[in-house]
Chains A and B, each alone.
Chain A
């Protein structure tokens, strides 16, 4: 089918198959892709609202046994640079988030063998006890899978226990590209295969949780594999309708084992626009300003995105790989309004909570994203002693201390 015929099909709102989406991605002129995506975006979101959330990406530990080759954030078990945040440190981050108008943590971390399922349950209960209305958007599918392996129980059981402890929703991290050929090349197949990632999300949706879905593109995959990834997501969404949003972000190569170069801005906009056309059952597409910067992040709103993502008070993972953009609420709202939209603050379920917080009360400006811990901070949380250590390194450390 010609590009013009495919464009007509997209304009008519007919569903594109994978081959058609790939053809559009590879061959449609960039402005045409943008226009088609923009039309679909307006059909789904006819008001002028662009949403955003105030939250914080807290990485509770950087110790990880997965060793993905694209990751610059993790430290191996026993590394002197490895850390685990204490409950009190996490409470302090929540206090700061609330002060800035936020109501949620995006809580993710490495696959740390010395943090058993009980640690997570205790943390979630402690958070909910102190902050009953605060939301926990936590633990990507590979982390859930890791916990099921550690606890030697099923994924549905892990999800059930975490929800009972206070889990509200699951972030779509760890998806990378949902094609096992790619996952093997990226050394993340053992962390979770494509089927396993999808399966965790299926169980989460069945348990009533809403989740997001991500795609880290631009590493070793082919364009066809990007579309295959989206196809896996679309199929599960047809089945469960549990995804709230899709977030594409470009692989960040700095300080990684894999190295290479970052995909360009035009590739990002084309990927986003193709996602808007192909993922016709996803209500929301986020702009990834944290990897693309404010300008291309804002331009995403013309290429299919209807959400500016998170104010993201803190971020550690993509920053470790070279992306160091920062936008506070004032900047995010400025960019939304400059593009001709109305800024609406939301929660993870995309319920609108209101307008910008900074217009209701004074909040401090954020000129750079916070980090998990200050450099040189090496303390080990006291409560860790309450949980059995599985790794030799951690057992040795406890013996020494």
Chain B
């Protein structure tokens, strides 16, 4: 096992793909420090010390009639959350959000929700996606690889509709085998599609009373960086996992932080503003903060 991990380290440093044997050894090791070091090495080879983050304004639709929609000026992505209403009735609301976003990239809904709605309504997924694009949305907010009935097909439709995907995600994780399966699935999807830019490997929900552990999360982020070597960005969500775990994730392979609040005036002073907080945490991890927008363009500050 130790030799295989050393071999993996040598291949990563040289910029080669890992062999199946090395992947097996990495997946089985309980040595999260070595795993984290290898993932950090792979991340630095790809991104150096740059660590991107995006400030996201979440908007729920349908919007209240007549209410003025205000998007915080610091938002660099406006994200429309899932609702159970039919997309047809929501399209006018999406248009209102796009108008209020005033040029800030707008991401909308999860692909699995749209896929499910297409199945229920009898409409083609391609038509729903085209309607979203025509309403001005730029991106699908997320696509959970474990929730999509036909992941590859659905993702192809996103591309054909002229939309982007903000992030490939995982909804649920249970056991070690399932977590590894998700990582291998992400790699295979990208092998086939080739245009996915970001993968968020940590489960977005967990059974009540049984959250994942720190070791599990570190392993998952590190393995995602090492095994999903065909997706450039490994992402962690600031709000969902909290600053502590998210910051540690940056030292074991993650290079991008999602879900930073765009509201700086929290009433707790400048030092505690979300912008200062994220910058401080990235710097304290020995990395360099770089703000980006939803379209992955760097924001000049």
Residues of A within 8 A of B (CB): 29-32, 34-35, 38, 259-261, 263-267, 269, 292-299, 302, 334-335, 338-340
Chain B residues near A32: list those with CB within 8 A.
37
Q: B216 interface residue, CB < 8 Å from A?
A: yes
Shortest 9 CB-CB contacts between residues of A and residues of B: A295-B214, A265-B244, A31-B37, A298-B214, A299-B214, A264-B284, A340-B30, A338-B213, A266-B285
Q: Is the interface of B mostly helix, strand, loop or mixed?
A: helix
Q: B217 interface residue, CB < 8 Å from A?
A: yes
Q: Give 24 A-B contacts (CB < 8 Å), ordered by A residue.
A: A34-B36, A38-B33, A261-B271, A261-B272, A261-B277, A264-B244, A264-B247, A264-B280, A264-B285, A265-B248, A266-B247, A266-B281, A292-B244, A293-B242, A293-B245, A294-B213, A295-B217, A298-B213, A302-B215, A338-B213, A338-B215, A338-B216, A339-B213, A339-B215
- When chains A and B are docked, how far (Å) is the Cα of A340 from the Cα of B32? 11
A264-B247, A265-B245 known; A295-B213 Cβ under 8 A: yes
Q: B218 interface residue, CB < 8 Å from A?
A: yes
B33–A302 CB distance below 8 A: yes
Chain B residues near A299: list those with CB within 8 A.
32, 214-215, 218, 248
B30–A265 CB distance below 8 A: no
Query: From residue A328, how far is it (CB to closest CB) to chain B in Å?
Result: 11
Q: Contacts A266-B285, A295-B244, A340-B30 given; 13 further ones with Cβ under 8 A?
A: A30-B285, A31-B40, A32-B37, A264-B244, A266-B247, A266-B248, A266-B284, A293-B245, A294-B214, A295-B245, A295-B248, A302-B215, A335-B214
- When chains A and B are docked, how far (Å) is the Cα of A38 from the Cα of B245? 20
Residues of B within 8 A of A (CB): 30, 32-34, 36-37, 40, 211, 213-218, 242-245, 247-248, 251-252, 269, 271-272, 277, 280-281, 284-286
B286–A34 CB distance below 8 A: no
A269–B40 CB distance below 8 A: no
Q: Is the interface of A mostly helix, strand, loop or mixed?
A: helix
- When chains A and B are docked, how far (Å) is the Cα of A105 from the Cα of B84? 52
Chain A residues near B284: list those with CB within 8 A.
263-264, 266-267
- When chains A and B are docked, how far (Å) is the Cα of A261 from the Cα of B247? 15
A30-B286, A259-B269, A339-B213 known; A265-B243 Cβ under 8 A: yes
The chain B residue with its CB closest to the CB of A38 is B33
B213–A266 CB distance below 8 A: no
Chain A residues near B216: list those with CB within 8 A.
338
Which of B32, B33, B247, B269 sits near A265, CB closer than 8 Å?
Answer: B247
Chain A residues near B211: list those with CB within 8 A.
294
A261-B280, A264-B281, A266-B251 known; A296-B245 Cβ under 8 A: yes
The chain B residue with its CB closest to the CB of A32 is B37
- When chains A and B are docked, how far (Å) is the Cα of A266 from the Cα of B285? 6
- When chains A and B are docked, how far (Å) is the Cα of A31 from the Cα of B37? 6
Query: From residue B188, how far is it (CB to closest CB) to chain A in Å?
Result: 28
- When chains A and B are docked, how far (Å) is the Cα of A260 from the Cα of B271? 7
Query: From residue B202, how far is it (CB to closest CB) to chain A in Å?
Result: 11
Chain A residues near B32: list those with CB within 8 A.
299, 302
- When chains A and B are docked, how far (Å) is the Cα of A259 from the Cα of B243? 19
Pick the most buried of A292, A294, A299: most chain B CB atoms within 10 A of its CB.
A299
The chain A residue with its CB closest to the CB of B269 is A259
- When chains A and B are docked, how far (Å) is the Cα of A340 from the Cα of B33? 13
- When chains A and B are docked, how far (Å) is the Cα of A298 from the Cα of B272? 26
Which of B30, B243, B251, B272 sits near A30, CB closer than 8 Å?
Answer: B251
The chain B residue with its CB closest to the CB of A335 is B213
Pick the most buried of A31, A259, A267, A335: most chain B CB atoms within 10 A of its CB.
A31
Query: From residue A267, how far is it (CB to closest CB) to chain B in Å?
Result: 6
A30-B285, A265-B243, A265-B245 known; A334-B37 Cβ under 8 A: no
- When chains A and B are docked, how far (Å) is the Cα of A29 from the Cα of B36? 12
- When chains A and B are docked, how far (Å) is the Cα of A343 from the Cα of B285? 30
The chain A residue with its CB closest to the CB of B248 is A265
A296–B248 CB distance below 8 A: yes
Query: From residue A24, how far is it (CB to closest CB) to chain B in Å?
Result: 14
B244–A35 CB distance below 8 A: no
Chain B residues near A267: list those with CB within 8 A.
284
- When chains A and B are docked, how far (Å) is the Cα of A269 from the Cα of B244? 11
- When chains A and B are docked, how far (Å) is the Cα of A264 from the Cα of B238? 13
- When chains A and B are docked, how far (Å) is the Cα of A267 from the Cα of B218? 17
Chain B residues near A334: list those with CB within 8 A.
213
